[in-house]
Amino acid sequence: MAKGEMSQQVQDQMGRLQQLQNQLQVIQQQRVQVDQRLKEIEEALEELENATDKTPIFKSVGSVLIKSDGKKKIVEELTENKESLDIRRNSLHKQEGQTREKINELQSKVQNALGMSSGDNA
């Protein structure tokens, strides 16, 4: 192999590495969004704890606020949402870990391949 040339396999691995890094970035962005939504729900649930049954409660539906039928129903909805988001966060966390492992493995392979090819030309 001439100096400066990379095998097709190494080029493919580097392309896959870039894809994995992009995928990791997307997963991290999704996790941040889920974390933000979870925080909003937790804050809303805390506020609802302090509300009485007579306190008017509204919920957002699109760009409109609608008066809720009651505190209990809203708490149930928020709790269900929170449980779903917790599951999603755990899934994203697992995906993030697996993707990081794949990236580390592939980086090692690429570094070894590049190190061997540059060592051959010395």
- For the record, the structure tokens of 41 come out as 């729900």
Q: 31-66 pLDDT, tens per residue?
A: 999 999 999 999 999 999 998 888 899 988 899 999
Return the axis-axis angle of helices 71-120 and 8-50, rounded to nearest 10°: 160
pTM: 0.79
- Burial class from Cβ neighbours inside 10 Å (0-12, 13-18, 19+) for residue 100 reads middle
- Which of 79, 91, 72 has the alpha carbon at shortest distance from 38? 79
| Residue 117: pLDDT band with limits 50, 70, 90 | low
Q: What does the pLDDT read at residue 118?
A: 62
Delimit the domains of the chain by residue range: 29-108
Please say whether the beta carbons of 30 and 89 come within 8 A. no
Q: 1-34 pLDDT, tens per residue?
A: 444 567 888 899 999 999 999 999 999 999 999 9
Q: Which of 10-14, 16-20, 81-85, 100-104 has the lowest mean pLDDT?
A: 10-14
Dihedral of alpha carbons 97, 101, 103, 104, sign: positive
CA pair distance 44, 80, nearest whole angstrom:
13
29-108, which class in CATH? Answer: mainly alpha
Name the strand (E) or helix (H) holding 55.
Answer: none
| Better pLDDT: 121 or 91 | 91
